[in-house]
Every structure is written in C-alpha cells, then in structure tokens.
Structure 1
Amino acid sequence: MSITAPPNNPELERAVLSAVIRLNGRNLDSLLSILKSPDYFYSPVHQALWQTMMAMHRDQIPIDLVTLNDRLIKNGRSDACGGPVYLAGLLEDPQPVSHAESWARDLQGYARRRAMAAMGQQLIENAYSNDTDPSTFAAKAQEIVDSVLEDRIEVSAQKPSEIIHDYVSYLEGLEARGGDGIKTHLYKLNSITGGFLPGEIVILAGRPSNGKTALALNFSLYSIVKEVPVGIFSLEMMRYLLVNRFLASTHGINSMRFRDGKFSEKDWSNIYDFAQYFEGLDSSLRIWDRPSLSASELRSQCRRWKREFGLRLAVVDYIQLVRPDSKGGSREREVAEISRIMKETATECGITLLVLAQLNREVESRKNKIPLLSDLRESGAIEQDADQVIFIRPWNPKTIDDLVTVTLDVAKSRNSNTGSLETVYRRRRLQFLNDKEQDWNWLDFFPAEEGE
C-alpha cells in the first residue's frame, strides 16, 4: 500500500475549529492543554487559524466570525485562509461541540504519528549515509522519540498574572516538603549548600585516589535510603567494582577483600544480606557501566530513566571521560559542548547532575593545597556552567591510616553559601563520615543529620 500523505484528518480539524467558533472561544482553555501548538493541525490553513485563535485567546478577545476574520485581515492571512466564505463554512459542521476535547485528543494522536513517520524516514536516510556517526544518531533518534512521547513543544511566554498563583502554590508545597534539595549524609555540607536542587549541575572534583567516587556513592546510597531515585554513569570502572564499593560502604566489609578474595564467614553473611537488599533496588537505581558515553547519549539515557522510574539524581564518573558529539577543535571546546549539554539535561529533566572531575596536578604543589576553580582540568566551561563546585582538598593517598581527616571546600554555589568542612574518610570501608565517632552499620544504615 502506498502512502500519499502523512497521517491526518481534515474533517476532524474542521470540527475542532468549528467548535471553538460556535462557543466564542470559551472552550479554548481545555483545548489548548491538548493542542498546544498549531503543528497539531496538518492543514496549513488550519494551522494559521489555530495560531490566530491562540493569539486572540491570549489577548482576551472573544472569537466569532467577525473578530476572527478581522484579525486575519490585519495579519494579512485572510485570503490564505479562504476568507469569510471558508470561515462561514466551518459553522455548518453539525457535530455537537461537547465532543471537542475528544476530537482534540484524536488530533494529538495524528500529530504523534506524523512525527513518528518523519522520524522513521530520517532514520532510513541516515542509515544509508556514511557521514553519520551511529551512536550520535541513535541518541538523536531517542531524543525525537522522547519528544513525541512527552508532547514537548514550544509554549508562549506567560504573563505575571498567569504565573503567580502557581508560584504561591509551589512555595506552599515547598514548605510542606521541607524543601526540594537532595540532602547528603554530611550534615555540615547540608548546612552550607542546603542540598542539591533540581536543574543543578554539582561538580565534585579532586585528585586521583582522593575519594571522589567513594563520596559520590555515599551520596547516592543516602539518596536511595531517602527514596530519591538515582542513576549512575560509571565510565571508569565495571559494574562489579562499583557494587563492591556499595557493599563495603553499607556492610563494613574491608575493601581489600575484593582484591585477595579472603572473605570470612561473617563477610559472606553480609554479602548475601546485601545481595537481597540490592536486588530490591529496581525502582530506585540504574547503572550504566560502558566505557564510552557521548553527551547526547547521556541526555537520552537521563530522559529514559526519568520516564521509567522518576530519576532525580544522576552521577557521572567522570566528565573528562564523556565523549563530545562532534570532534574537532581544542579539547576545551569539546568539554564546553559536553558541559552545555549536561546543563540542558539537568534543566530539561528537572534532575541534579553530580559530575565528578579531575583537578590539575598543580594544586598538590601549592602550600595550603586549597583548590581554585581554575584548577579544574579543562576547566573553563565546567566552571561556568556548574551551579555548585565541591573540592576534595588533596591529601596523601599513600598514608597507611584507615581514618583520614579530609577537608571539603564548597568553592562555588549560585543559590547558597560557600565554605569548608572537615569529614573523616574511613578508607577500608569507603565511607565519608561526619566525625570519627560516627559508624555505619546495616541495622542503623545512616544516622539522621544533625538538626533534622
């Protein structure tokens, strides 16, 4: 069967337009929640009419044959839309206007199918092109699919009067929820930052072997306990190594046992206990452990996780291992592209991106060892796009001590304070603690933060 035109239904489009005119636009509020853009109509004439109706509704002008035709004339679109004769013909539709919302949902379905058809055609064309990178196009295809599924379209700017009531309701809910920030188990850090907010990029930077991954996983574990869905992009280590770190942190198993395999009977009891717990995290955790990840693939995966299980915190370990979508130019320019896409992802998905980064070696030679924002490797765009930057102040990883006092510096925070705090790193268990007296165990997984 040959297809001569994309999926569309002109009679249905006419029926919706007719219903609006016959009700003088009184049903537009409900219809605009479904047909938010002229693109939901296939006919260019109907697109122009819907766009004009949207503008008149926004300007609080009643919609009838006279006012609609007058607006079309002023915009120079009357002839293109068939003039008064075509508008008068719309009133002859015999269908009851009470069905308008049902018709609008049907038109929405036609628009989605047109978008899918266009996407399929684009997939076919790119599949035969040697100039298209498969992974980049796959990520772009996923973006198109997500857009179709979520009905994401451009919306017009809102007036203050249209915003304020929702804003007050938002603040009332914010008070009831105790804030929207994702808190950590380090209560001193929470007192400085107030937590990690949706739409934020939080950079966690340090030198190699100074505990970046361990601290990020501690944050992840605490978030999961607090019912915050987490996704982890582990670009440096395989999934088993990552799960080893979860096990060490939650059940106190010496991390050296994952090297020598000398597990005690108590260790095995803890391992089986952890396995039962970890198996139940399907609704709270996702792990990506492939060594190659492009910026667009990261965005696509975050969208998918947001849709699948309500992702709120995504951890990227680490930014210097993320590939740009297009190579060429300086590495700083490539990192700038990656950073930009990450910021767009955090804002669009309403999630926090906790992004690990390396510090330059120069910070170790500095007398006070206090990192600066310029110490971020390939730093320019990362420093600019980040909402918060937290440094792990360099310490000597060759020390034999199990408990190491580690300083965290909040060097940048757009919406809260900056400052420093001391933590205690229990290296064998890969745990960052509030103080030396604190202990984690499985029965009392995390102590409550001070001040809660």
Structure 2
Amino acid sequence: MNEIATPQAGLPAVPEPQLPHSIEAEQQLLGALLTDNDLYDRAASIVRSEHFYDPVHQRIFDLCAARIQKNALASPVTLKPFLEDDEGLRALGGPVYLINLAASAIAAYAVKDYAQMIHDLAVRRTLIGLGRDISTKASDVTVASEPDEQIVEAEAALYALAEQGRTESGFQSFLSAVTQAVNVANAAYQRDGGLAGISTGLIDLDKKLGGLHRSDLLILAGRPSMGKTSLATNIAFQVAKAYRKGTTHEGREGAVNGGIVGFYSLEMSAEQLAARILSEASEVPSEQIRRGDMTEAEFRRFVEAAKSLEACPLYIDDTPALPISQLAARARRLKRTKGLDVLIVDYLQLVRPATAKDSRVNEVSEITQGLKAIAKELDIPVIALSQLSRQVESREDKRPQLSDLRESGSIEQDADVVMFVYREEYYKEREKPGDHQLEKMAEWQAAMEAVNGKAEVIIGKQRHGPIGSVELSFEGRFTRFGNLIQPWQQGGGERG
C-alpha cells in the first residue's frame, strides 16, 4: 500500500476513521418491516429515517413509513415501482436487493433492539460531528469568534442532542403537529375541562389564560411599586409549592401538578427574594422580617414556613447583568440537572444582549427573541417582567396599555401574552386632600375604600385567548396577591 506524504511534516496521512454504523442491523430491521408491517410502530417509536447510515436504507424506510401510515402494504413488490430509477439501489443490485432484505430477515422479534442500536449509533455519529465542529471553530482564532460564545453554542447543540436525539428539528409533518395539539387538549380534558397549562394559583387569572402554556413568552409589565415582582414571586411560590412528580399524560416522568421553577432575580438578591416569599407564606410583614421586629409567635410562624419550604423546587439565580446567551445556557443546565417547568426573569431590561447593538431598541429585540427561543427550546413557559415608560404618569387614566411598554415594538411582537399589573390604590393614596377640605376628604375616603386591597391584571395581548381584566386581592404588608372574593360570594367561604 502506497503512503501519501503530507508536505508539512513528511509523515504518512492518517486514514479517516470510519463513523460507527451497522449495515447488518439496518438490513435486519428493514427486512423485518417488509415481511411484517405491524412491526413498524415498534420501530418508529425509536428510529427515524435520518438515523440510518446508508442513504438507500433511509429512502426505503421513508417509503415503508409513508405506505404503512396510509394503511397500504409495504413489501418488495409494492416498493419496487418507487425505487426502480434509484441510482443507489441500482448499485446494490436493483429491486432484487429488496427481495434479499425480506428473505434474510430472521429475527423479527428483535426489531426494537435493532432500532435502538441504529438510533444509538446515529447519536454517536452526531456527537463525532459536533466534536469536529467544536474543534474547527476553536482552531479558527478570529476577533469575531469569542470562546465564551463557542461554549454556549456547543452546550446548546449538546442539549438538543441529549433531549431529542438530534441537533436540529427541521420541518415536521402536519400529522405530528396535530398529534401534539390533541395531546395538549387531552391533558386539559383530563383535568375536567380545566387548564391546558400550569396553574398560577390565582383562579380568575387561570380562567383567562388557561394556565401557563408551554413554549409561551409572557410579559408581565408595570410601573414601579405596582407589585410586578410580588406577583411574579407569588406565581413562582404557588407553582413550586404545588409540584408533584409522576408520569405525565405523554407517558414520561415529570410534573403532574405544579412545577420546578427557575427565577432570575437580576435586581434583588436571592436572600431578599426568599424573604418576600417567606413573608407571604408566614404572614409576617416583610419590613418586620428585615428589621427582625417580630413577636415570638410571628418568629415561630416564620421558622415553620422556612422549614416547610426547604424542599420547594424553586431555584434562584441573582447574578446581575447576565447576557441572554448565558441566561439560556444556565436554564438548559438547570433543566438537565434538576428539571425546569417555569422560568421567570426579573426583569427584561436588566438582561444584557450577547453583543452590543447600535440602539437600545435592537438590544431589547435580541433579548425578547432570545427569551422566546428559550421558551420554545426548553418547551416551558417563560415569564419576563418589564418596565413601563413614564408616559403612563402623564395621563389622567393611568391604566397601562401596550404602547406604554419600553421599546414596545419587539416586546409586543415576540410575546404570546402581555399583562399589566395596576393598583389604583397606589395613585389614590397620592391624591389625598388637605384635612381642612372636609367634602373632598369624604369623597377621597369613599374612593379609597372602594379600591383598598384590590389590584388588576390587565391582559393587553393573548395569542390564544381573550384580552380583558382580572381583579385580584393585594395585601401590601405581605406583598401577596390572592383570589378576590366578590360581594356575591361573601359568606360562601374563600375560594382555593
């Protein structure tokens, strides 16, 4: 055998290692399918055409799948007309190859084992390809190619491979999409016509939203002091508290109630956020917790609440000014190691873009697109808090609207749901007349009584549901939102 010398080192060329595959396993699987079409479901749950190493085998499997799904026979005879002009098949001996496949299939009972073997070898080939890509990019030392970005890209590709067995999903058939839609509707139906998504713990908000839906980006916006962080922590606490693990309707291990929550707190520290949640759970005012000004009974309640929440699956990351790429990488890692059902970001304007842009609008656009991509990739609802512009304050009616969102174009466009937190009580308090204005004081007191302890969540946009307003109760001392008892419900007991 002649050796080819490389000009650089004068050494013999190292032959390219052959990628892992098993032609025999592919032949046995296809032969079994051609002799018994009923075996297709067993194989298709594990293997797809792209998992086959031989391109001819890929085409044969695709044809078998297309015919079997139409309840038509897939055999060497019925496949022959479709493959007569196939150059690859001709190189293997033509249509006779199909007959030989069927004739040599001797282990139909082992179809599942062959399918698993073909799948695993395909994953190994993809891993080798990813390794080569990582190595090539790392070798390419340019200003535009930052190592941190390469790490994030590599992690995203490996995560996708670990989750789905492939690095890119590409197109999917309408049948596949319809099946997923039916599964979601079935999950809602199994809950007695309840929620298709995860419950927020707030009944009226759940009715309006149908729960928190997978792959949705929800924007929760409000002016300072409206309580958007409080509402987000309330939802996080309720979802984590309700978490129950089991077998989902899709037949996999996961959350059957509530969920595991990831909370990016870019403004407050983890300790401050935990204190807020403990204030709600123990019914001890948050300012008393900060000062340590508690009675013995309150401190006991506080400690008991802390003990009961020890096992709560709520994970907080309080790293400030996180770039969107790092935020995505950490979310992937959390889902892989602990699980993740809901992600909350407080707040959107404090997230950094991966690269500096020429305008703030473009930066926010990259961040919202990145958050939506996380929701879709991890198949979870993402709740991102957002600031509102000051123009709200200059209007007589201070109820926020979509145009009040800062850098609103991209936020409004990318979000599936946009909600605003509004507390009229906050503005009414600041309209208090002087003590000598008795008539105005009486009017103000009546108005304050009407809005005391109430909050509104205004749904300004919802892709798959109605817009409108939801009334909630708000207890400022405990920074707690709750289900509002309407006058006609008085005496009937509190709703869950």
TM-score w.r.t. length of structure 1: 0.83
Which has the higher Rg, Structure 1 or Structure 2? 2
Partner-residue secondary structure (3-state), 1:83:
coil
* Residues 473 and 482, structure 2, Cα contact 8 Å, conserved in 1: yes
2:411 to 382, 391, 395: 382
Task: Report the CA distance between 1:56 and its aligned residue.
Answer: 3.6
1:272 to 298, 303, 311: 303
C-alpha distance in 2 between matches for 1:110 and 1:409: 52
1:35 maps to which residue?
Answer: 47
Q: Does 1:426 align with 2:475?
A: yes
Q: Which amino acid aligns with 1:358?
A: Q
2:382 to 338, 353, 372: 353
C-alpha distance in 1 between matches for 2:218 and 2:178: 32
Task: Report the CA distance between 1:132 and its aligned residue.
Answer: 3.0
**Cα deviation digits, residues 382-429 of structure 1 (max 9, x gap):** 11232322212374599699x764443222223333333444533332
Partner-residue secondary structure (3-state), 1:357:
strand
C-alpha distance in 2 between matches for 1:28 and 1:77: 23
2:81 maps to which residue?
Answer: 70
Distance 1:13 1:236, change over 3 A: same
* Residues 69 and 83, structure 1, Cα contact 8 Å, conserved in 2: no
C-alpha distance in 2 between matches for 1:432 and 1:176: 26
Q: Which amino acid aligns with 2:132?
A: Q
Q: Does 1:111 align with 2:122?
A: yes
Q: Note the 1:31-430 alignment, pairs <5 A.
A: 31-36=43-48, 38-73=49-84, 78-79=89-90, 82-91=93-102, 93=104, 95-128=106-139, 129-130=141-142, 131-150=144-163, 151=165, 153-154=169-170, 156-159=172-175, 163=179, 166=182, 170=186, 173-176=189-192, 178-227=194-243, 228-229=258-259, 230-257=261-288, 259-262=290-293, 264-281=295-312, 284-308=313-337, 310-393=339-422, 395=426, 405-430=454-479
C-alpha distance in 2 between matches for 1:361 and 1:413: 24
Distance 1:325 1:19, change over 3 A: farther
Distance 1:187 1:41, change over 3 A: closer
Task: Report the CA distance between 1:4 and its aligned residue.
Answer: 0.6
Partner-residue secondary structure (3-state), 1:286:
strand
Distance 1:294 1:39, change over 3 A: farther
- What 5-or-longer segments of structure 1 have no aligned partner? 438-446
Q: Which amino acid aligns with 2:35?
A: R
**Relative contact order higher in (CA < 8 Å, ≥ 6 apart):** 1
Greater CA drift, 99-108 or 47-56: 47-56
**Cα deviation digits, residues 348-395 of structure 1 (max 9, x gap):** 444222210010011111111121101111111211232322212374
Distance 1:177 1:132, change over 3 A: farther
Partner-residue secondary structure (3-state), 1:428:
helix
C-alpha distance in 1 between matches for 2:455 and 2:177: 49
Q: Which amino acid aligns with 1:55?
A: A
Q: Does 1:6 align with 2:19?
A: yes
Q: Which amino acid aligns with 1:285?
A: L
Distance 1:10 1:132, change over 3 A: same
Partner-residue secondary structure (3-state), 2:232:
helix
Distance 1:434 1:30, change over 3 A: closer
Partner-residue secondary structure (3-state), 1:203:
strand
* Residues 319 and 355, structure 1, Cα contact 8 Å, conserved in 2: yes
User: Aligned pair count?
Assistant: 437
**Cα deviation digits, residues 246-294 of structure 1 (max 9, x gap):** 112211333224544555544543443233223212xx32222222434
Partner-residue secondary structure (3-state), 1:231:
strand
Distance 1:338 1:53, change over 3 A: farther
C-alpha distance in 2 between matches for 1:448 and 1:226: 21
* Residues 84 and 95, structure 2, Cα contact 8 Å, conserved in 1: no
**Cα deviation digits, residues 22-55 of structure 1 (max 9, x gap):** 33x442222111112x221122333333333333
**Cα deviation digits, residues 59-80 of structure 1 (max 9, x gap):** 5442333332321235665436
Task: Report the CA distance between 1:297 and its aligned residue.
Answer: 4.1
Partner-residue secondary structure (3-state), 2:403:
helix
Greater CA drift, 318-327 or 355-364: 318-327
- What 5-or-longer segments of structure 2 have no aligned partner? 1-13, 244-257, 433-447, 487-491
C-alpha distance in 2 between matches for 1:381 and 1:343: 11
Task: Report the CA distance between 1:161 and its aligned residue.
Answer: 13
